[in-house]
Amino acid sequence: MADKKIIITIGRELGSGGREIGMKLAEELGIPFYDKEILDEAAKKSGFAREIFEKNDEKPTNSFLFALVTGMGSAGTGFQRPLALELYLAQFNAMKKLAEDGPGVFIGRCADYVLSDIPGVLNVFIHADMKDRIANTAKKHSITEREAEAMCLRSDKDRSSYYNYYSDHQWGDGRYYDLVINTSRIDRDKAVEMIKNCFTDVK
């Protein structure tokens, strides 16, 4: 791996441990980890407040905002892009720049699609059985299992809507990833090792 720039993207279901796997993977490989850090970079480059990115992070397109796509600028002339699209493009550009500058593990936000033109990128999707996702989410957020289930279902809806809108792929569809891991069957440490081993074989 020494002569190869390591770019790994990780899509994940809430409660599957995808973020934690990505963090450990980056730590063991000695490369940057990009999750919320993508929002920081996008905010710096775009001029939009960090809080705006946080509020809209991996959220489905707001139909009202997108209805404004035919609206005019404040002076009554010119094209004004909707906010949701501006935020997506800012994150798109931030991820491209980060990947061009060096290695990294990128979490969510259509990273596999955004970075698809980079040679040798490894795209991973982490999922788990719903009962385990619920238990993990309830424990992490100190909430009831009923609340955790609702959170998982909402997250699935938001992430799939966001991903499916901005890419021509389907979120979680194994055909679009190089490696799909079910953490209900394979523990997180083993998942990290699997990803590391797979990267050495990526062409």
Q: What is the CATH number of the domain that holds 88?
A: 3.40.50.300
On whether residue 149 sits in a domain, the answer given is: yes
pLDDT band at 55 (very low <50, low <70, confident <90, very high): confident
Q: Calculate mean pLDDT across residues 171-193.
A: 96
| Residues comprising the chain, all counted | 203
The answer to the question of residue 14 being in a domain is yes
- Is the predicted pLDDT of residue 64 greater than 50, yes or no? no
Asked if residues 122 and 8 have their Cβ atoms less than 8 Å apart, the reply is yes
Number of domains in the chain: 1
Tell me the two tokens of residue 98: 């980060």
**Between residues 71 and 139, which one has the greater pLDDT?**
139
Output the pLDDT for position 65. Answer: 42
CA angle 147, 112, 197 (to 5 degrees): 95
Asked whether residue 1 is assigned to any structural domain, the reply reads no
Residue 2 lies in a domain: no
Q: How confident is the model at residue 33 (pLDDT cuts 50, 70, 90)?
A: very high
Residue 79 located in a structural domain:
yes
Tell me if 44 is assigned to some domain. yes
Is residue 62 predicted with pLDDT exceeding 80?
no
What proportion of the chain, given as a percentage, has pLDDT over 90? 60
**Highest mean predicted confidence (pLDDT) among 6-15, 70-79, 115-124:** 6-15
In a domain, 25, yes or no: yes
Does some domain include residue 138? yes
- The alpha helices in the chain, defined as continuous H runs, are 18-29, 36-46, 50-55, 63-67, 83-101, 111-114, 130-141, 145-166, 188-199
Q: Which domain holds residue 76?
A: 7-199
